[in-house]
């Protein structure tokens, strides 16, 4: 019995020393890569660059943002799932690839097995906007247009399985319409085609859409949160406009390769939460319409599971299908 106790103590001590050693390896000796699954110019890219800059200053190491667009962000998530496990690669992951895409398509990774939660990042409601050529001014008029000409009204998204895609499908379900989904490789190209009137509408990130609303090029119809965001008090929510309980938030969170040592993931959590709590960073994010959402690693894991269950239900009820990235 004594021998077994000594052996157990030795194992615990070894694990503790190993954890301390891994923690001492932070920050990584080489530049850190923060991967973003969408093209430059969108909300995810703006948030990532703000956070990466402050992270680099705090840890004394360069943090480079790498945009890896395509397949609604799934290509980037698959890349990070197989990346180095020394803490030099982290992912600014998004709701789509982390909790929606697994229900839609066959992936090269499992977000719950191949990626490890680090911390929540930011969240925000999308805003449904239409180009001015539609002639609509309100959500009610938009729905009437979609019902009058079934199949003629479409909506852009930043990719199959993205938050903007599922917001559109949830709206189709609740409003009893059948808008046609048009996926893009990110928010920026989706917005460009909307401005060029090549697509009818888009559940867009407020930071990218609102400048064009202010110039009159886009018509704001509704936001997708349960309450109006403080920076868009004049735009009703989808719930207020006739569809009670409608909610489709967009969010981004930090994850890393699953085999990354826990001590390194814990340290990344500490550093990211510190940055998200920085007053200057918070103010800058809020100016972009983004709400900081720092969490523990455990809280993020539970949140991802809850979101996966919710959106999985929508995918099944809408009988949606995707494609392999």
For the stretch 182-203, pLDDT in tens is 998 888 899 999 999 999 999 9
Say whether both 76 and 211 belong to one domain. no
Say whether both 133 and 218 belong to one domain. yes
Say whether both 110 and 150 belong to one domain. no
Within 8 A by CB and 6+ apart from 203, the residues are: 126, 127, 128, 155, 157, 163, 164, 167, 168, 171, 224, 248
Under a CB-based contact definition with an 8 Å cutoff, are residues 101 and 161 in contact?
yes
Asked if residue 205 is part of any domain, the answer here is yes
The mean predicted confidence, pLDDT, of the chain is 90
Whole-number pLDDT of residue 3: 55
DSSP 306: H
Asked if residue 79 is part of any domain, the answer here is yes
**Which CATH number does the domain housing residue 109 bear?**
3.40.190.150
Cα 138 from Cα 129, distance rounded (Å): 10
Cα 72 from Cα 101, distance rounded (Å): 8
Say whether both 136 and 86 belong to one domain. no
Whether residue 20 has pLDDT greater than 50: no
Say whether both 112 and 139 belong to one domain. no
**Which CATH number does the domain housing residue 213 bear?**
3.40.190.10
Whole-number pLDDT of residue 18: 46
Structural domain harbouring 36: 31-124+250-318
207, exposed or middle or buried, with CB in 10 Å at 0-12, 13-18, 19+? Answer: buried
Say whether both 105 and 181 belong to one domain. no
Q: Tokens 């003629």 belong to which residue?
A: 152
**Share above pLDDT 70 across residues of the chain, in percent, rounded to a whole number:** 91
Asked if residue 150 is part of any domain, the answer here is yes
Beta bridge partners of 91: 35, 255
For residue range 85-96, what is the model confidence (pLDDT) as tens digits? 999 999 999 999
Say whether both 271 and 210 belong to one domain. no
Whole-number pLDDT of residue 322: 61
Asked if residue 228 is part of any domain, the answer here is no
Whether residue 323 has pLDDT greater than 90: no
Q: State the total domains in the chain.
A: 2
Say whether both 103 and 54 belong to one domain. yes
Say whether both 257 and 312 belong to one domain. yes
164, 188, 223 - which closes a domain: 223
Cα 56 from Cα 169, distance rounded (Å): 39
Say whether both 55 and 88 belong to one domain. yes
Band of pLDDT at residue 10, cut at 50, 70 and 90? very low
Two tokens at 321? 């299908």
Cα 37 from Cα 194, distance rounded (Å): 21
Whether residue 143 has pLDDT greater than 80: yes
Asked if residue 111 is part of any domain, the answer here is yes
Asked if residue 294 is part of any domain, the answer here is yes
Asked if residue 291 is part of any domain, the answer here is yes
| Burial letters 159-189, b for 16+ CB under 10 A, else e | bbbbbbbbbbbbbbeebebebebbbbbbbbb
Asked if residue 3 is part of any domain, the answer here is no
Say whether both 110 and 131 belong to one domain. no
223, 241, 260 - which closes a domain: 223
Specify which of 16-25, 93-102, 270-279 reaches the highest per-range mean pLDDT.
270-279
Say whether both 164 and 104 belong to one domain. no
Cα 58 from Cα 112, distance rounded (Å): 29
For residue range 22-48, what is the model confidence (pLDDT) as tens digits? 556 899 999 999 999 988 887 788 899
């Amino acid at each position: 019995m004594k021998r077994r106790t000594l052996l157990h103590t030795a194992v615990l001590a070894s694990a503790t020393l190993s954890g301390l050693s891994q923690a001492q390896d932070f920050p990584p000796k080489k530049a850190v890569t923060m991967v973003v699954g969408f093209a430059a110019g969108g909300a995810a890219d703006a948030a990532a660059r703000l956070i990466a800059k402050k992270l680099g200053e705090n840890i004394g190491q360069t943090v480079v943002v790498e945009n890896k667009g395509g397949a609604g962000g799934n290509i980037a998530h698959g890349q990070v799932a197989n990346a180095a496990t020394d803490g030099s690669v982290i992912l600014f992951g998004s709701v789509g690839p982390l909790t929606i895409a697994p229900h839609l398509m066959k992936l090269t990774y499992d977000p719950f097995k191949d990626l490890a939660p680090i911390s929540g990042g930011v969240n925000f409601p999308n805003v449904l906007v239409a180009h001015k050529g539609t002639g609509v001014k309100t959500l009610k008029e938009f729905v009437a247009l979609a019902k009058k000409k079934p199949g003629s009204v479409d909506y852009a998204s930043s990719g199959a399985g993205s938050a903007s895609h599922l917001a559109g499908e949830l709206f189709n379900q609740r409003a009893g319409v059948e808008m046609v989904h048009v996926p893009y490789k990110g928010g920026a190209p989706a917005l460009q085609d909307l401005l060029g009137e090549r697509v009818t509408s888009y559940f867009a990130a407020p930071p990218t859409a609102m400048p064009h609303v202010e110039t009159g090029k886009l018509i704001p119809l509704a936001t997708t949160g349960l309450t109006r965001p403080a920076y868009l008090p004049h735009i009703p929510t989808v719930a207020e406009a006739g569809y009670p309980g409608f909610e489709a938030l967009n969010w981004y969170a930090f994850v890393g390769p699953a085999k990354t040592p826990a001590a390194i993931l814990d340290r990344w959590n500490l550093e990211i939460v510190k940055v998200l709590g920085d007053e200057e960073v918070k103010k800058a994010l809020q100016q972009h319409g983004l709400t900081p959402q720092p969490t523990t690693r455990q809280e993020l894991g539970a949140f991802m599971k809850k979101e996966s269950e919710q959106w999985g239900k929508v995918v099944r009820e809408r009988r949606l299908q995707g494609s392999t990235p």
